[in-house]
Amino acid sequence: MTIGELSKATSTNISTIRYYETVGLISPAERSQGNQRRYSQTEQDRLSFITQARDLGLTIEAIRDLIDLSARPDLPGDDAHRIASEQLATVKGKIQRLRKLETELTRMSKTDSTESNRDRVIKSLADR
């Protein structure tokens, strides 16, 4: 598939696809005789994973670690455990902050929208 087709299939901007290629998150595309990038289903699947991971707030480095972890069954157990533990801690922290936000937004939706109530949402996100 072309880069345009990949972009459409994954809802990812073409420049973002090129960036992910540059930083090594997806393999450099094969080139057609007309020098057009050609992508396989494997790259589409990986790009879909990357897009979902970014939407969930994972960093490029975290995504790289997870890709490495899945691509290297030979990785020593300690390295795999470290990567998984680090990502788990990050995800748990984000879930905690999202729950705080959910609580404040739920409370706000059930009460009057005074300025002090609106400030509580900002405060709930500012408190880490």
* pLDDT tens profile 71-98: 877 777 777 677 778 888 988 998 998 8
Which tens digits make up the pLDDT trace of 32-78?
A: 888 788 999 999 999 999 999 898 878 898 889 888 888 877 777 77
pLDDT for 49: 93
What token pair was written down for 54?
Answer: 């970014």
Looking at the fold, whether 5 and 33 belong to one and the same domain comes out as yes
Residue 46 in contact with residue 25, Cβ under 8 Å? yes
Could you please report the per-residue DSSP string of 46-82?
Answer: HHHHHHHHHHTT--HHHHHHHHHHHH-TTS-HHHHHH
* 2 within 8 A of 36, measured Cβ to Cβ: yes
Whether residues 119 and 82 share a domain: the answer is yes
Residues 43, 6 share a domain: yes
Please check whether residues 59 and 1 belong to one and the same domain: yes
pTM score of the predicted model: 0.68
DSSP 31: E
Residue 125 identity: L
pLDDT of residue 41: 93
Give the span between the Cα atoms of 51 and 45, in whole angstroms: 10
* Structural domain boundaries enclosing 119: 77-128
Whether 119 has a pLDDT exceeding 80, the answer reads: no
49 and 21 assigned to the same domain: yes
CA-angle at 49, arms to 43 and 54, nearest 5°: 125
Domain count, the chain: 2
